[in-house]
Chains A and B, each alone.
Chain A
Amino acid sequence: MEARLPATMLPPVFARWFESRGWRPRAHQMAMIEAAERGASVLLTAPTGGGKTLAGFLPSLIELAARPALKKRPAPAIARTGDRLESWKPAPRPGSPLHTLYISPLKALAVDVARNLGDPVKEMGLPIAIETRTGDTPVHRRQRQKMAPPEMLLTTPEQLALLLASREAEEMFSGLKTVVLDELHALVTSKRGDLLALDLARLTALAPGLRRVGLSATVADPDSLRRYLMPQTAGKETLSELIVGAKGADPALTILASQERVPWAGHSARHAYGEIYAAIAQAKTALVFVNTRSQAEIIFRSLWHLNELNLPIALHHGSLDVAQRRKVEAAMAAGRLRAVVATSTLDLGIDWGDVDLVIQVGAPKGCSRLHQRIGRANHRLDEPSRALLVPANRFEVMECVAARDAVSEGVLDGETNRKGARDVLAQHVLGVASAGPFHPDDLYTEIKSAAPYAHYTRETFDRVVDFVATGGYALRTYERFARLRKMPDGRLRVASPHVAQRYRLNVGTIVEAPLLKVRLVRSMDTRRAGVGGRILGQIEEYFIEQLAPGDTFLFSGKTLRFEAMQEAEVVVTPAGDEPPMVPSFQGGKFPLSTYLADRVRRMVADEGSWRRFPPDVAEWLRIQAWRSRIPEPDQLLVETFPRAKKSYLVCYPFDGRLAHQSLGMLVTRRLERMRMRPLGFVASEYALAVWALGDLAKIDMAALFDEDMLGDDLDAWLAESNLLKRTFRNCAVIAGLIERRFPGQEKSGRQVNFSSDLIYDVLRQHEPNHILLEAANEDAATGLLDIARLGALLRRVKGRIVTVNLPRVSPLAVPVMLEIGKEPIYGEANEEILAEAADGLISEAMA
């Protein structure tokens, strides 16, 4: 897009500042200023390193520089605390100086941006206060920010929700002119995005005319973000303006041509560690991205084993202690590191200085993520980012080739339009009530203006409000305990200040898997003597649950021995250099994107493209064509073969692990009904293998894969599934049914887990149509179970299933067959596990 204003139209102080830096304002920066002058809301998409953040703030800086100074407010005479001063009325004061609100998905990013903005403001001598507000901000400053806000406030969606739930909100935001949403593409696809959309609607109600600015990486479907930014009205779609930043130099993307054979299966890329190390040694500074924490641990440890040159290589992932992470970040910024092994904690915007090589280990699973990650290398637009892709297995080779093609064509994965979650709306309704009384009619109109909630019916909204007020149960026994009460004018207010207080303790939409602290002690003897040891970080509870004392595992770059659980902490001792006994492998965390999956299917079908693969991969596909069959892109290949007295069925939908797991669950149920006596299944990103005692070559595949499995079979499975209990717990916490924490009585994750299961069982039995169960079902369908994608899969292959009955396993089936035994086998056979444990005892006793 061309700039509509020449650079000379910058206010002189800004023009001089750009000059002093030796910079010229970029076209999209000028376009942003021009749009702001018209009061237009804008989505700016630009690649990393394009001066996107400055472009977002420039219009506000210019406006504020020209604004006559407000009279300073007197500091409040008494400190207000909590809810006690119900009748306290602030003295009339000049309008709030708060002009621009900036929202980032990460608090570290907000802090980083504040620091980066501080420089120009100081250098130009502008009278603009810029402050951050995060969970780390001291209480006294938070109080002061409400009474005397700065001109610019940088915060997160959760903190904004808290601010909006305070009684000061109305006044604080009354003069707000601009809201800037950073990394919008990362925010909108989650429940945090739902919460932010509702908060945006609230802000607009408090500050009519508010200008909304979205900053985003390049996305495939900018319209969904443009819609998200704007207040929607029934029957008419409103989009913000769009400014597209200049495209940077094309990234130099190579796929590692390993000297080793490409492994059949697995995610570790162990065969390539030597080559990865060599690439690090040749680069100035490298970022090594992996998909899961455990992969990060394994590769970090292995690189140090190879580290003959003693290169400073560090580790960074979300489970490590915060202090440890900050140290790594500081060392990186100061240029003291040669490489950092990292997970998605480094995906988003923080500036990393002079990275000249990004290494992606394992397939990137989506082109947008790959784009984002390679954007971490070389923050200068005119030079290409250098990236090296290291596929961990044969299917990943294809995925990497597909991702490289997509990136060089500039194509990104599609964004999906989210439907706003009911549990998030419940949290929001309570937040609104905590700020002051509201009329349901007004609030309904307001929430419908938020794009994710535009489709909500009044009935659903009323049910959510009823849930907030009394729990929303058919059995109306809780009226006398109602949290919301109706006032004579029809408005609703909170029943007591405690309600608002509890809301503030529980706000937020991120429900993490329960985490436990890992404490390293020298030996258990010293531990008993009361010697403390140190905290290494936090680890998921489900992982510890599968360990027995004495098991060793990798964490924080070390092999550790699990000793005991003590007071909700995992106590470990160093296990020296021995290899860990327990592989902490959960496979790739992100499912393969639909778009990449499609490309991979097409590549497999097109023999001409095989020469682009390493020779052993191409040969593998040729033998598959000879021994079995290569499916067309729109076909589903189903192979059956006998092996070790069992019958196997392997199919290749390429639709990601989650959808395959759901397919496996449902197919197994059907096989059971067909009396095929299925024994288990295992799902990978690309394929699904099922085995049974009955002969699977004899069944009607069209019937087995019929779309109608998404009806009764799905319902029956969900009724028994533990997965649904997990999504229910998240919904229950977000909606405020289960409390995140109480003053003075911290619950461990386990206790929350257990009681929510009991509640789930009772509710499912007595009121299966309760709104929270609806919310949990919807979450499961879009998240853990990926039912939407499974539905698309079944529709795609209808009438296009090709079955090959083989005498033995095919080459294409080998990777998923190798997962058997490594991956947990799915099934809901809890009773069987109990019976086995009991029978084991009997056979032991009888031996």
Chain B
Amino acid sequence: MSAAIDLAGEALVADHSGALFWPQLETLIVADLHLEKGSAFAARGQFLPPYDTSATLERLDEAIARLRPARVIALGDSFHDRAAAERLALETIETIRRLTSAHEWIWICGNHDPEPPSDLGGRIAETLALGAVVFRHEPTAGRAAGEIAGHLHPCASVRRRGRSVRRRCFIADGARAILPAFGAYAGGLDVRDAAFAPYFRGSVTVWMLGRERVYRIARSRLAEAAE
């Protein structure tokens, strides 16, 4: 199946929502939610539409309802800044609490949220290990033997008949997987950027997010990005 990602011998599934699913452990993994990014800009006088947090959580809710995980891991940068939790609307707080109480929930710390809010349920961890796989926000340079991370917001472009399509994507090489950002306003970094170089060698594959499925594409077939 095109959505299957093999990581350190474990069979994972790339979901078109941008979440990664580990069926055997009933675990759903999402990265870089960046909740309240819109209001962070608004506080500085730039009024981005105030709907990004609910849009992000609606998508997460949908993926959870569809894949029915027992455990959810948020890979860091779940909140756009330290003050994000103070700006959450009341209904949003309720939604988050409902989600965190219905599942085993782990907030991994990120650089945007080194101390995620403790009053929303779930537990907080710097890193987490499940079997041979380590979960952390920022990938570690060099060789890995099973690492799942976020932080880099990978995206990729393909070109056909003079038109190019750019989408968020998963990127993995069998030993390490980096997830696309899940947040509605999280920007992207092209996987051809030098920032990805320290983490992957050998045959690297990306899974680009489509409307209803993911598309598995060898890295060598991606369009050169103008970045």
A and B interact: yes
Query: Which residue numbers of A lie inside 8 Å of B, CB to CB?
Result: 467, 470-473, 475, 477-478, 481, 483, 495, 498-499, 502, 516, 541, 544-549, 565, 568, 736-739, 748, 750-751, 754-755, 758-759, 761-763, 765-767, 770, 824-825, 830-831, 833-838, 840-841
Contact: A762 with B185, CB < 8 Å? yes
A234 to B49, CA, bound (A): 35
Other A-B pairs beyond A546-B159, A565-B226, 13, CB < 8 Å: A471-B49, A475-B50, A477-B89, A481-B45, A495-B45, A545-B159, A737-B46, A758-B187, A767-B49, A830-B165, A833-B161, A834-B158, A838-B217
Residue from A751, A762, A837 within 8 A of B217 (CB atoms): A837
Chain B residues with Cβ under 8 A from A759's Cβ? 48-49, 185
Bound complex: CA A838 to CA B160 (Å)? 11
| Residues on B with beta carbons closer than 8 Å to the beta carbon of A483 | 45, 47
Contacts of B46 in A (CB 8 A): 736-739
- Whether A841 lies near B221 (C-beta < 8 A) is yes
With A477-B39, A481-B43, A841-B217 as contacts: A754 and B160 at CB distance below 8 Å? no
Q: A755 near B47 (CB under 8 angstroms)?
A: no
- Most chain-B Cβ atoms within 10 A of its Cβ — which of A477, A499, A739? A477
Q: How far is the CA of A758 from the CA of B55 in the complex (A)?
A: 11
Given contacts A762-B52, A825-B161, contact A547 B47 (CB under 8 A): no
Specify the chain B residue showing the minimal Cβ separation from A495.
B45
Question: In the complex, which of the residues A502, A762, A836 contacts B51, with contact meaning CB atoms closer than 8 Å?
Answer: A762
The interface stretch among B99-107, B140-148, B172-180, B208-216 is: B208-216
Binding site for A on B (CB under 8 A): 2, 39, 42-43, 45-52, 54-55, 89, 157-167, 184-188, 208, 210-211, 215-218, 221, 223-227
With A833-B165, A837-B217, A838-B215 as contacts: A763 and B51 at CB distance below 8 Å: yes
Q: A565-B226, A754-B188, A833-B160 are in contact. Are A737 and B48 (CB under 8 A)?
A: yes
Most buried by B among A547, A840, A841: A841
Contact status B162-A478, CB under 8 Å: no
Q: Most B CB atoms within 10 A — which of A471, A737, A751?
A: A471
Contacts of A467 in B (CB 8 A): 47
A186 to B193 Cα, complex, angstroms? 43
Choose among B43, B54, B216 the residue that contacts A841 (Cβ–Cβ < 8 A).
B216
Cα–Cα, bound, A759→B159 (Å) = 24
Q: Taking CB as reference atom, which chain A residue is nearest B222?
A: A837
Would A767 and B51 count as touching, CB distance under 8 A? Answer: yes
Nearest Cβ in chain B — how far from A189, in angstroms? 30
Which residues on A sit within 8 Å (CB–CB) of B226? Answer: 516, 541, 544-545, 565, 750
Q: Are A471 and B50 in contact (CB under 8 A)?
A: yes
Chain A contacts of B217 at CB under 8 A?
A: 837-838, 841
In the complex formed, the residue of A with least CB distance to B45 is A483
Residue in A closest to B56 when the chains form the complex, CB atoms: A762
Q: A545 with B51: in contact, given A477-B39, A754-B187 (CB under 8 Å)?
A: no
- Asked if B210 contacts A834 (CB within 8 A), the reply is yes
Contact A833 B163 (CB under 8 A): yes
From B39, B159, B163, B217, residue with most partner A Cβ within 10 Å:
B163
Which residue of A754, A834, A836 is within 8 Å of B208 (Cβ)?
Answer: A834
Contact B43 A473 (CB under 8 A): no
Quick one: closest A residue to B208, CB to CB?
A834
Contacts of A477 in B (CB 8 A): 39, 42, 50, 89
B165 touches A549 (CB 8 A): no
Using Cβ atoms and an 8 Å threshold, which residues of chain A touch B48? 471, 737, 759
Distance between A541 CB and nearest chain B CB, rounded to angstroms: 6
CB distance from B136 to the nearest CB of A (A): 26
A756 and chain B: residue at smallest CB distance? B48
Across-interface contacts of A837 in B (CB, < 8 A) = 158, 160, 215, 217, 221
Most buried by A among B45, B165, B184, B210: B45
Chain A: CB-nearest residue to B188: A754
A841, B218: Cβ atoms closer than 8 Å: yes
Q: Are A762 and B158 in contact (CB under 8 A)?
A: no
> Is B47 within 8 A of A765, CB to CB?
no
Nearest 7 pairs between A and B by C-beta? Answer: A471-B47, A766-B51, A837-B158, A838-B215, A833-B160, A763-B49, A834-B215
- Quick one: which of A475, A750, A758, A770 has the most chain B CB within 10 A? A758
Question: What's the nearest-Cβ distance from chain A to residue B162, in Å?
Answer: 5
Docked Cα-Cα span, A516 to B226, in Å, equals: 9
Closest A residue to B48 by CB, please name it. A759
Residue of A nearest to B47 (CB): A471
Q: In the complex, A379 Cα to B89 Cα: how many Å?
A: 67
> From residue A464, how far is it (CB to closest CB) to chain B in Å?
13
Q: Determine how close the nearest CB of chain A comes to the CB of B67; give it in whole angstroms.
A: 22
Decide: B42 and A549 in contact? CB cutoff 8 A. Answer: no
Cβ-closest chain A residue relative to B166 = A754
- Across the interface, do A831 and B164 meet the contact criterion of CB distance under 8 Å? no
What residues on A are CB-neighbors of B215 within 8 Å?
Answer: 834-835, 837-838
Residues of B within 8 A of A750 (CB): 226-227
Q: Is the CB of B49 within 8 A of A755?
A: no
Nearest-neighbour CB distance to chain A for B50, whole angstroms, equals 5
Chain A nearest Cβ from B194, distance in angstroms: 10
- Residues in A whose Cβ lies below 8 Å from that of B208: 834
Which residues of chain B are within 8 angstroms of A481 by Cβ–Cβ distance? 42-43, 45, 47
CA distance A477 to B92 in the complex (A): 13
Look across to chain A and name the residue whose beta carbon is closest to the beta carbon of B55: A762
- B residues in contact with A471, CB < 8 Å: 42, 47-50
In the complex, the answer to whether B162 meets A824 with C-beta atoms within 8 Å is yes
Residues of chain A within 8 A (CB-CB) of B166 are: 754
B85 to chain A, nearest CB (A): 15
Partner of B164, one of A502, A545, A565: A545
If A755-B187, A824-B161 touch, does A473 touch B223 (CB 8 Å cutoff)?
no
By beta carbon, the residue of chain B nearest A472 is B47
Minimum CB distance partner of A476 in chain B: B50
**B162 & A833 in contact (Cβ 8 Å cutoff):** no
Across the interface, do A762 and B184 meet the contact criterion of CB distance under 8 Å? Answer: yes
Q: Report how far A443 CA is from B99 CA in the complex, Å.
A: 49
Docked Cα-Cα span, A470 to B39, in Å, equals 11
In Å, the complex CA distance between A459 and B13 comes to 51
In the complex, what distance in Å separates the CA atom of A471 from the CA atom of B89? 17
Closest-by-CB residue of B relative to A547 is B224
CA distance A546 to B166 in the complex (A): 13
Contacts of B2 in A (CB 8 A): 838
How far, in angstroms, from A516 to B187 measured CA to CA in the complex? 20
Q: Determine the distance from Cα of A69 to Cα of B68 in the docked complex, in whole angstroms.
A: 84
CB contacts (< 8 Å) of B45 on chain A: these are 481, 483, 495, 498-499, 502
Q: Is the CB of A840 within 8 A of B221?
A: yes
Rounded to whole angstroms, the CA-CA distance of A763 and B49 in the bound complex is 6
Instruction: Give the chain A neighbours of B54 by CB distance below 8 A.
Output: 766
